Amino acid sequence: MLIALLVACAGAVSAHHMEKESIQKRTKPSGEVYRVGDDVPVSKPPVVETSGPRSGEEVYTAKCAMCHGAGIAGAPKVGEASAWTDRIAQGNDILFEHAIKGYQGSAGFMPAKGGCADCSDEEVIAAVEHMLEMLK
């Protein structure tokens, strides 16, 4: 009887000990501690592409062709000169402004910069110029 009690006790104690150890393991800080002179790994800054502004053709192909290539959602097709006569008559400044700021026309909705959040105004203008060039 006494032995049984001792064994039970020992079991309880060791179970308790195990638990404590696993709690320590689970709650240990995730970072490592570095001392002076250690080779500390420093995260490198992300590599930023500095290739300069994209050409009108690049921007058009990547950001505008999906709508203007096939005439999706009322977008004037680039291959269809008649869809552009009235638009060109407005003057380039209006075309550029509509392309940069977006607008709701009678044919459909042109999103600002064609939805290209990382396009600069200059890149959008270059894309419009490329579109106009393709109409010639």
The residues binding ligand HEC (CB under 6 A) are: 59, 63-64, 66-68, 72-76, 87, 90, 94-95, 98-99, 105-111, 113-116, 124, 127-128
Q: Which residue is nearest to ligand HEC (CB)?
A: 105
Q: State the minimum distance, in angstroms, from the CB of residue 50 to ligand HEC.
A: 21
Count CB-CB contacts under 10 A for residue 68: 22
Closest CB to ligand HEC among 34 and 103? 103
Q: State the minimum distance, in angstroms, from the CB of residue 128 to ligand HEC.
A: 5
Q: Which H or E element spans position 104?
A: strand 103-104
Inter-residue contact 117 to 111 (CB < 8 Å): no
Closest CB to ligand HEC among 39 and 118? 118
Question: In degrees rounded to 5, what are phi and psi of residue 79?
Answer: -85, 0
* Residue type, position 121, single letter: D
Closest CB to ligand HEC among 19 and 122? 122
CA distance 1 to 4: 5
Q: State the minimum distance, in angstroms, from the CB of residue 56 to ligand HEC.
A: 8
Closest CB to ligand HEC among 11 and 108? 108
Q: Which two tokens stand for residue 11?
A: 């079991």
Closest CB to ligand HEC among 5 and 117? 117
Inter-residue contact 130 to 56 (CB < 8 Å): yes
Question: Hunting for tokens 């921007």 — which residue is that?
Answer: 59
Q: State the minimum distance, in angstroms, from the CB of residue 58 to ligand HEC.
A: 11
